[in-house]
Amino acid sequence: MNTKLKGKRILIYSHDSFGLGHLRRCRTIAHALVDHFAGLNVLIISGSPIIGSFDFKSRVDFVRIPGVVKLRGGDYTPLSEHIDLVRTLELRSSIVAQTAATFAPDLFLVDKEPLGLRGEVAVTLETLRRKGVQTVLGLRDILDDSVLLKADWENRGTPKDLENYFEEIWVFGVKAMGNPLAGLEVSERSQEMMVYTGYLKRTIPELTKAPVSLPADPFLLVTPGGGGDGETLIDWVLSALESQPRPAMPVVIVLGPFMAQTLRRGFQHRISRLKGVHVITFDAHMELLMDRAVGVVAMGGYNTFCEILSLDKRAVLVPRSTPRMEQTLRARRAASLGLIAMLDSEGDRSPQAMSAALRALERQGLPSAAGANALLSGLEVICERVDTLLGGGSIHHQDIA
């Protein structure tokens, strides 16, 4: 274990307005950093209402800020009914600033939103940069359709001179999947700051006891991630399972913690009438479930995609196309590279189409056969960049193609 950065501190900001994606990505990065660097401490600032459901390694901790939810129309609303949005954002910004002042990080990693939700980390960024703190923007491989994203960034007043706020921009993906800043008219210097890390490799957690009871035989895993917008996927899969023919092996469906209670109850009732179909609401160790699965049916969120590649699982992605095109673009590009199969939720929505995809999943090629292993350098490259930024290392690497 590297002891060069002993005593150094890294602060990670994740706005977490909806779902599990941002939190799980930041937690994966934090765990990799403390595993690699002895004595390094990481603190995550998150708005996720279920962050306490996850376990964290020694030297990784979190501060939770008041949660907000992004509505389908693009507006935000606070999770608490007792505080309006304006005061919620003021409180979040104040907690971020105070946490940064007290924790005194050596590096500040901002996840996805350059200035935070509604600009809530702008003041903190400026303060930390004046103190000489290294600041980094982390972006997933695909943000959205470039036309839609450009309009969104302009409406928010997101700066195009990102070099005035950050030392580097880490893209948690590969060039073959595209440039997340394409079409945004960011400065040339901002483009030069981009480091393609590769995808974040996931591993199986070591637990003394399995978190849930699963079928003994191999099974197909169906997961809509957080579940807040997963009703289309679950309904389509259940329609296929209710028809004939259907897969010969058991099916495990994880509904997700953010699925509306009325939808969850309706799906659970339908599942109770199906033989060989098991349902789970939520499990914080999805890697364990996916490791045992023969194949995966999912929506195509970033973390699920990383798990599919890392655990080398045959997968069918059924991406959403609203409110953003991120999942659809990722699924299309991944399918073109032979990494996964894709079903378009805007195309043939018949039970027969899903049933055929489920049966074909067992014969599908593995991601490793399409070169997935070469795409999973993300955590290694992140540790190299942290070593260089904080330890004065001279590690040089080429962007992952």
pTM to 2 decimals? Answer: 0.90
Give the Cα separation of 240 and 40 in Å (integer). Answer: 49
Query: What would the pLDDT profile of 239-266 be if each residue is shown by its tens digit?
Result: 999 997 888 889 999 998 889 999 999 9
Give the Cα separation of 397 and 196 in Å (integer). Answer: 10
Give the Cα separation of 380 and 358 in Å (integer). Answer: 34
Query: What would the pLDDT profile of 353-380 be if each residue is shown by its tens digit?
Result: 999 999 999 889 999 999 999 999 999 9
Give the Cα separation of 118 and 116 in Å (integer). Answer: 6
Structural domain spans, the chain:
9-201+377-391, 219-374
pLDDT of residue 19: 60
Kindly state the tokens that stand for 34: 């403390």
Residue 297 CB-half CA count within 13 A: 32
pLDDT of residue 391: 85
Residue 161 one-letter amino acid: D
Please, what is the average pLDDT of the chain? 89
Positions of the chain with pLDDT lower than 70, given as ranges = 16-19, 69-82, 207-213, 393-401
Kindly state the tokens that stand for 228: 């807040």
Domains 9-201+377-391 and 219-374 share a fold: yes
pLDDT of residue 71: 55
Give the Cα separation of 222 and 225 in Å (integer). Answer: 9
pLDDT of residue 205: 76
Give the Cα separation of 180 and 283 in Å (integer). Answer: 30
Which superfamily does 9-201+377-391 belong to? Glycogen Phosphorylase B; (3.40.50.2000)
CATH topology of domain 219-374: Rossmann fold (3.40.50)
pLDDT of residue 77: 64
pLDDT of residue 226: 82
Q: Are 173 and 163 in contact (CB under 8 A)?
A: no
pLDDT of residue 125: 97
pLDDT of residue 47: 87
pLDDT of residue 247: 84
pLDDT of residue 11: 98
